[in-house]
Amino acid sequence: MGSVDSQQRVLSGMRPTGRLHLGHYHGVLKNWVKLQHEFECFFFVADWHALTTSYDDPSQIRENVWEMLIDWLAAGVNPGSATLFVQSQVPEHAELHLLLSMITPLGWLERAPTYKDQQDKLREKDLATYGFLGYPLLQSADILLYRAGKVPVGADQVSHVEITREIARRFNHLYGREPGFEEQAEAAIVKMGKKNARLYRSLKRRYQEEGDMEALETARALLGEQQNISLGDRERLYGYIEGGGKVLLPEPQALLTDASKMPGLDGQKMSKSYGNFIGLRESPDTVEQKVRTMPTDPQRVRRTDPGEPEKCPVWEFHKVYSDEATREWVQTGCRSAGIGCLDCKKPVIDAIVEEQRPLHERAREYESSPDLIHAIIQEGADQARDAARDTLEEVREAMGVVYR
Ligand code: SF4
């Protein structure tokens, strides 16, 4: 595992869909901004993934990549704190995908819940392709390439992390074995000193006999702190906790993120395809116009008709943006017809415009200088490639394709 602390590494990517909206901001980007201060984060634009479904019309991909990157930066994702890159600029993703494809049973991919699902949803496209079938494996390669221990995902993506875990397990099982593994692991334990050795053994026992996950985590942390053992020994001991061979590719954990609470203008989920969104860099005028024309409780036809917030999409926005006092004012005013719908929408408009102010400011800098984004992405690709090469070196070695 080299000097990589997997538990500290986070990997996340997004398909380049062009400009993002407030649903992405509240659902994903705000979380990234938080994570970038807590972990070593790799955030990438999944342009190859876009090709798995848009191979017949790739004309938009490039433009979409730039627009999306500006949105990331506008949201506060910081290239000084996280590594930002474009997948295709790190060709190691493709090599690991290929190598892992050798050991991936076809059934795992065919059974992936999204495989049939997406084919049904995108009926107008011919998705009976090799690339589309393999996209969960490409995702696994994306994660394993950085030996990332944490992958922020929504509940619908957990199955992809699960496949990745199975692939890592299979890989470690096939290639992590070496002659004399146990003897070498035992010798390595001794090198940690008496106290640590005793602790390691007891944690290992707790994990193996009782399945105690906390013991597993503590043992991993203990190994991370050891100065006296070589990198090879550390890998052995990581694997020895679980009983197998060396852990060449650590199994990632899903870092469950709450589904975005951001509703669309019509009360459905905010989505580009429903046309019910507010763009992340929408101008204040457009925000105002979009909110002013939002539908409200259909029972409230005239200003004098009382309404019911629970039946109104504007209320959903108040849940995201308003404080307790404003919400109280809405509830009472709506039900008694004390306030009009335009009055009610005003605090929402103000809150969104206020939220977007710093985003606009940050975006302006990047919108006017594409060179700046090119430089960020170039640097990000270099950093990502460094990490990726380390992994691939070990993977090639393990699979016997090294010629030196
Ligand atoms: S007053 Fe507010 S909550 Fe009530 S119907 Fe109008 S917009 Fe909706």
User: What are the tens digits of pLDDT across the range 245-292?
Assistant: 788 999 999 998 877 678 899 999 898 888 999 999 999 999 999 999
Q: Match 């996209």 to its residue by tokens.
A: 135
What is the arrangement of strands in the sheet containing 40-45, beginning at the earlier edge strand? Answer: 82-86, 40-45, 9-14, 150-153, 253-256
User: What are the tens digits of pLDDT across the range 350-377?
Assistant: 999 999 999 999 999 999 999 999 999 9
* DSSP string of 230-277, one letter each residue: -HHHHHHHHHHHHTSS--SSPPPEEEE-PPP--B-TTSSB--TTTT--
d(CA 164, CA 254): 10
Winning range, highest mean pLDDT, from 126-130, 185-189, 330-334: 330-334
d(CA 281, CA 61): 19
- What is the mean pLDDT of the segment spanning 82-92? 98
What's residue 1's pLDDT?
42
Atom of ligand 1 nearest to the CA of 300: 5
d(CA 69, CA 73): 6
Assigned token pair, 125:
């496209």
d(CA 279, CA 19): 7
Pair 10, 35: CB distance under 8 Å: yes
CA of 310 to the centre of ligand 1 (A): 9
d(CA 68, CA 66): 5
d(CA 381, CA 301): 56
Nearest to 115 by CA among 130, 94, 104, 100: 130
Pair 32, 82: CB distance under 8 Å: yes
Share of the chain above pLDDT 90, in %: 70
CA of 264 to the centre of ligand 1 (A): 15
Q: Whose CA is nearest to atom 3 of ligand 1?
A: 309
Assigned token pair, 221:
């942390």
What's residue 247's pLDDT?
84
User: What are the tens digits of pLDDT across the range 143-169?
Assistant: 999 999 999 998 888 888 999 999 998
Q: How many helices (H) and strands (E) does the chain have?
A: 19, 5
273 annotated ligand-binding residue: yes
Of 330, 331, 348, best ligand 1 pocket probe by most atoms within 8 Å of the beta carbon: 330
Domains of the chain from N-terminus onward? 6-176+254-261+370-399 (3.40.50.620), 181-241 (no CATH), 281-365 (1.10.240.10)
Atom of ligand 1 nearest to the CA of 344: 2
Q: Can you give the pTM of this predicted structure?
A: 0.86
Question: Does any ligand 1 atom lie closer than 6 A to the CB of residue 318?
Answer: no
CA of 274 to the centre of ligand 1 (A): 22
Residue 222, CB-side half-sphere exposure with 13 Å CA sphere:
22
Atom of ligand 1 nearest to the CA of 308: 4
Assigned token pair, 79:
């290239």
What's residue 378's pLDDT?
98
Question: Does any ligand 1 atom lie closer than 6 A to the CB of residue 297?
Answer: yes
155 annotated ligand-binding residue: yes
Atom of ligand 1 nearest to the CA of 315: 3
